């Protein structure tokens, strides 16, 4: 598996109606709702003090919308890359996350990876393609601070491989995956680029 060579930024898209309803969204191509647009604008404010050089978004509209709002604020174009598209949840698409957890007696969101359906994307494939995408783009844009605008499952898969666990991710909140020696940490970026 290809791994990133240096630190990078990730931003989960703003909310959609399906997010608010607690449904598996995966590859279903929903738009941001009004809260999601406000979250994208807030993310742009948080990133104002960060020297972002490249913005890359998942091709799903909720990620593209979020990236375009941030890109407009930072005067940067948005590139699209399917390597960071959300996990395909197969037959779970559109289902209630809470009901699915109850049905399978799961107590933590990270346990969902153990019951992903065979007609969806394998969990290991999510991290492999996302990390490969990041590594490739870092090689292409040497020295540039890259912001990847993507999805929760993608960011959790990355965190699991690099940091060893899931983390508390929120809509429209930028994080830095920071390489520290041989290890990695993930930190929220606060107001005006502060960590």
Residues recognised as catalytic? 13, 86
Q: Which residues of 70-88 are buried (b: 16+ CB within 10 A; e: fewer)?
A: bbeebeeebeebebbbbbb
Contact 48, 80 (CB under 8 A): no
Q: Is 38 exposed, middle or buried (0-12, 13-18, 19+ CB in 10 A)?
A: middle
Q: Treating both helix axes as pointing N-terminal to C-terminal, what angle do 123-140 and 152-163 enclose, rounded to 10 degrees?
A: 80
- SS3 of 190, please? coil
Query: If we measure between CA atoms, which residue out of 172, 181, 166, 120 comes closest to residue 150?
Result: 172
């Amino acid at each position: 598996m290809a791994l990133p060579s240096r630190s990078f930024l990730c931003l989960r898209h703003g909310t959609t109606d399906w997010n608010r309803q607690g449904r598996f969204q995966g590859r279903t191509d929903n738009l941001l709702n009004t809260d999601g647009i406000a979250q994208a604008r807030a993310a742009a404010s948080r990133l104002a003090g960060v020297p972002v050089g490249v913005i890359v978004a998942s091709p799903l509209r909720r990620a593209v919308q979020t990236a375009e709002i941030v890109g407009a604020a930072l005067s940067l174009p948005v590139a699209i890359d399917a390597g960071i598209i959300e996990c395909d949840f197969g037959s779970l698409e559109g289902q209630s996350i809470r009901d699915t957890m109850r049905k399978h007696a799961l107590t933590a969101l990270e346990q969902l990876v153990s019951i992903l359906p065979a007609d969806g994307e394998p969990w290991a494939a999510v991290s492999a393609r996302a990390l490969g995408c990041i590594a490739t783009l870092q090689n292409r844009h040497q020295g540039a601070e890259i912001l990847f605008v993507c999805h929760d499952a993608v960011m959790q898969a990355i965190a699991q491989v690099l940091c060893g666990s899931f983390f508390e991710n929120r809509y429209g909140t930028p994080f830095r995956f920071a390489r520290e020696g041989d290890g990695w940490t993930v930190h929220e970026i606060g107001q005006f680029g502060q960590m």
